[in-house]
Amino acid sequence: MSQRPSSARFRFQLDLHSGVPVYRQVIDQVRGGIASGLLAAGDQLPTVRQLAVDLAINPNTVVRAYRELELGGLLETHQGTGTFIGAQKMKRADAQRERQLTQIVGDCVSRAGAAGFTVDDLIEELRGLVSEPVRRR
């Protein structure tokens, strides 16, 4: 297992006003980092203590998020060396994941519309994310 630090571009950020539990935001951000290519197999995540300090949250919240990701096969924890992105890929889309994606897109469009953005604005922003150079293994 490679022990390089995670991408310098990947940063955890919390939205305490979103209504989404903090541990779920951590999980979603790791999954998003993997999906976008910002995090790859072998990348090291911050320690529980470091992430808790960085985000000003209880370490148990980080433990809960990391544990759920580990049980899902996305993280590997090595005693004494840290927590790493695992080699297992996220599961391909099935009917439930397709429904979830549809809901996410609908929520995103609704929030963007409420903030005065158009669907074209969203598409342009998404294309910008895709066109950024993605780090490969």
Residue 1 near residue 45, CB atoms below 8 Å: no
Mean pLDDT for the stretch of residues 114-137? 78
Q: Does the structure show a pLDDT above 60 at 5?
A: no
Kindly state the tokens that stand for 34. Answer: 């993997």
> In the prediction, which pLDDT does 2 show?
46
Better-scored residue on pLDDT, 132 or 98: 98
> In the prediction, which pLDDT does 92 show?
55
1-10, 89-98, 110-119: segment of lowest average pLDDT: 1-10
Q: Tell me, rounded to whole angstroms, the distance of Cα 55 from its chain centroid.
A: 15
CATH 1.10.10.10 residue ranges for the chain: 4-85
pLDDT tens per residue across span 22-55: 999 999 999 989 888 899 999 999 999 999 999 9
Residue 87 binned pLDDT confidence (cut-offs 50, 70, 90): confident
For the domain spanning 4-85, the CATH number is 1.10.10.10
Residue 30 near residue 69, CB atoms below 8 Å: yes
The chain-wide mean pLDDT, for the chain, equals: 84
Residue 52 near residue 14, CB atoms below 8 Å: no
Residue 43 near residue 5, CB atoms below 8 Å: yes
**Segment (H or E) for 77:** strand 75-78
